Amino acid sequence: MLNQQELVERMREWAVRVTPQRLAIAEVVLNSTDHPTVQQIYERVKGHFPSMTLATIYSTLGVLQKSGLIQELPFQKQSRYEPNMEPHVNLVCIECENVIDADTDPAVHDVVLGLRKQIADNSDFEVAWQRVDFYGLCPRCSEAKKRGQLSEV
């Protein structure tokens, strides 16, 4: 999505220092589509930085969030991180807990933007960003559940 050059430029705007660790973490999150958890980010980065700890990852994610590059998505058990700041819909499977962006029909983007405008016009609330999650069963888990029912108990 964002090449390393652009990334460095974006980082210089806000983070006082650009470190290789931060670059690696930013690259992993910004190029992900599965809304990784801190653990997952850790696993994807530790190949390059075996000494890196979770504290550094948490710290960097905080910086990325403040800079507006990513969004923390708190869930029941732990947070996930969203690199797609465009208005969109997340599909959250309540069975396997995977989170994906809803198939990006451009209309969805516009509908969410429209909702946002509607709020802006009808209240004094200043919207900065939004989170739209649809919870349910992904096709895979839905299937599994149906099959499971037949043999249950």
Shortest approach of its own copies to residue 112 CB, angstroms? 7
| CA distance linking residue 127 with residue 120, whole number of Å | 7
Binding flag, residue 4, DNA (CB under 7 A): no
| CA distance linking residue 7 with residue 134, whole number of Å | 31
Binding flag, residue 79, DNA (CB under 7 A): yes
DSSP annotation of 108 reads H
Angle (nearest 5°) at CA 72 between 66 and 74: 145
Selection from its own copies, DNA, none that 118 binds (CB < 5 to 8 A by kind) is its own copies
Q: Which of 38, 93, 100, 137 binds DNA (CB under 7 A)?
A: 38
CA distances from 43 to 27, 28, 46, 93, 145 (A): 14, 10, 6, 22, 30
| CA distance linking residue 141 with residue 96, whole number of Å | 7
DSSP annotation of 48 reads T
Selection from DNA, its own copies, none that 33 binds (CB < 5 to 8 A by kind) is none
Site residues, its own copies (CB under 8 A): 72, 74-76, 79, 89, 91, 93-94, 102-103, 105, 107-108, 111-112, 114-116, 118-119, 122-139, 142
- For DNA, the binding residues in 109-138 under the rule CB under 7 A are none
In the complex, the residues that contact DNA under the rule CB under 7 A are: 12, 15-22, 37-38, 49, 51-56, 58-60, 62-63, 74, 76-79
